[in-house]
Amino acid sequence: MGRHTRRHGKIHELPEDIRRQVNALLLEPTVTYADIVNFLKENKHEVSDSAVGRYADWFNEWRETEILRDQAALIASDPATALDLEKMTATMATTRFAYAMKKEGFDITEHPKLIDAFAKMQASSVKREQWINNIKIKAEKAANTIEKKFAKQFSPDTLKYIKEVIYGLAT
C-alpha cells in the first residue's frame, strides 16, 4: 500500500496569525527550529523539528519567488531590462532544478515534461546570448561605419557621442 504524502505540512494548517509569527521567526537568524517548535507548543500546537524544517524550505522558496516577482514588476516597467529579467529567471530555474535533482527520491525519468521544459529553457538561454552577441557585433559595425563615413563632417566628440549611443543600445 502506497504512502500518502501531504501536499502541505502541519504548519500550513495552523491559523494565519500563528503562521505569520512562524514566518517572522524564520527570518530571524538567531532563531532555531527548536525555538519555533517551543513557540508552537506554547501556543498549543504540536509540531516536530522536521515539520518546521520542511515548512522553512517551502517558506524560503515562496519568499524568494515573491521577491523575484516584485523585482520582475520593477524590471518589467523598463522594457530595456526585459532580457535581464529572462536571464535572472533562467538562472533561478536552473538552480532550483539542480537542487531538486539532488534531493533524495527525485527521479528525473519520472518527470519527462520537466526535463523537456528545462531543455527548452536552456536552448532559449543560448539563443538569447547569441542574439545579444549578434546585436553587439552589429552595433560595433554600425558605429565604425558612421565613424568612417562622417569623420570629416563631425567633430571627434560628436562621433564619440554617436558611438556611445549606439553601443548603449546594444547593452
Q: Which domain holds residue 122?
A: 80-171
Residues 67 and 142 in one domain: no
Residues 2 and 50 in one domain: yes
Rounded to an integer, what distance in angstroms lies between the CA atom of residue 89 and that of residue 121? 10
The count of structural domains within the chain is 2
What are the backbone dihedrals phi and psi of residue 9, each rounded to the nearest 5 degrees, phi first? -80, -175
List strand residue ranges (DSSP E) for the chain, in order.
none
* Environment class of 56 (CB within 10 Å of its CB; exposed 0-12, middle 13-18, buried 19+): middle
Q: Could you tell me the pTM of the whole model?
A: 0.47
Answer whether residue 75 shows pLDDT above 70. Answer: no
pLDDT for 41: 96
Q: For 52-71, what is each residue's pLDDT tens digit?
A: 999 999 898 888 888 877 77
Residues 58 and 70 in one domain: yes
Residues 96 and 110 in one domain: yes
Residues 85 and 73 in one domain: no
Q: For 143-154, what is each residue's pLDDT tens digit?
A: 888 888 888 888
Answer whether residue 1 shows pLDDT above 50. Answer: no
pLDDT for 171: 52
Contact 56, 33 (CB under 8 A): yes
Cell numbers for 164: 556611445
Among the candidates 55, 77, 99, a domain finishes at 77
Residues 95 and 162 in one domain: yes
Residues 118 and 38 in one domain: no
Mean pLDDT, residues 105-131: 79
Residues 73 and 91 in one domain: no
Residues 130 and 161 in one domain: yes
Answer whether residue 92 shows pLDDT above 60. Answer: yes
Among the candidates 21, 48, 77, a domain finishes at 77
Among the candidates 56, 77, 98, a domain finishes at 77
Rounded to an integer, what distance in angstroms lies between the CA atom of residue 143 and that of residue 124? 28
Rounded to an integer, what distance in angstroms lies between the CA atom of residue 117 and that of residue 121? 6
Contact 169, 150 (CB under 8 A): no
Residues 88 and 116 in one domain: yes
